[in-house]
Amino acid sequence: MNLKTHGMELASEMVIEAARCRLRIKEVPITYYSRKAPSKLRSFQDGWRHVRFMMLYRPVPFLYLPGAFVFILGFLITASLILTESAAYNRLHSFILGSMLLIIGGQILATGGYMKTYGLIHGIYRDSRAGRKLLDYHSLEKELLAGSLILGSGFILGLKVAYTWVSSGYGSLEEVESAVVSMVLAAVGLQLIFSAIFVSVMLLEVDTDW
């Protein structure tokens, strides 16, 4: 079954790989005797190791789908409020919530990408052609370019806000909407850039045939 884990998560890996190999799984009754020595089981830490392994094995349902949902929801909230006049003042809390969801969703998607890359490098996925295509060097270049463009847009918008503030004599500023959008663009852009860099560093371990 080509098992790779060495800790508590081996039990989960055996069941997953057995199902993948279409092996027959049968429950065998045993006689259980209580352990006399203190138990070494740590419920939270050992449970988290199993969850972490399952996220690594199946990043789509655990990370990509929730991340995409949160990101799209944040985008829809933010975009709909931007199109509404003075939305940042009339519905400021909803505007901030949408912006936070955008950033959080992007981070979840990036984490899914990291796990997918790790799984590909260490041979966890049997059919990894689609994943390898996504990790092609030119795709990473595009991600760097996209991140730089988004970051640049946020920087330019931030300069506009700063210019307006200076022009007003450093007084009160009615540019909340532009400031929040600038912050979100900068955060998402930096996220894309550092994700591309981190994935490319992980791929340094990969054979050049990739």
Query: pLDDT class for 121, splitting at 50, 70, 90?
Result: confident
d(CA 18, CA 10): 12
Question: Maximum CA pair distance of the chain?
Answer: 81
Q: In this structure, which long-range contacts are made by residues 77-84, counting pairs with CB atoms below 8 Å and at least 24 apart in sequence? A: 77/101, 78/102, 78/181, 78/184, 82/177, 82/181
pTM above threshold 0.85:
no
Considering the domain boundaries, does residue 147 fall inside one?
yes
Considering the domain boundaries, does residue 134 fall inside one?
yes
Considering the domain boundaries, does residue 155 fall inside one?
yes
Over residues 2-16, the pLDDT tens digits come to 777 777 778 888 888
pLDDT (0 to 100) of residue 70: 95
Over residues 52-83, the pLDDT tens digits come to 888 888 888 889 999 999 999 999 988 888 88
Helix (H, G, I), strand (E, B) or coil at 9: coil
pLDDT (0 to 100) of residue 106: 92
Considering the domain boundaries, does residue 45 fall inside one?
no
pLDDT (0 to 100) of residue 125: 74
Mean pLDDT of all residues in 149-156: 93
Considering the domain boundaries, does residue 17 fall inside one?
no
Considering the domain boundaries, does residue 14 fall inside one?
no
Considering the domain boundaries, does residue 52 fall inside one?
no
Mean pLDDT of all residues in 142-160: 91
Domain count, the chain: 1
Considering the domain boundaries, does residue 37 fall inside one?
no
Contact 108, 76 (CB under 8 A): no
Mean pLDDT of all residues in 97-113: 92
Q: Which domain holds residue 110?
A: 58-205
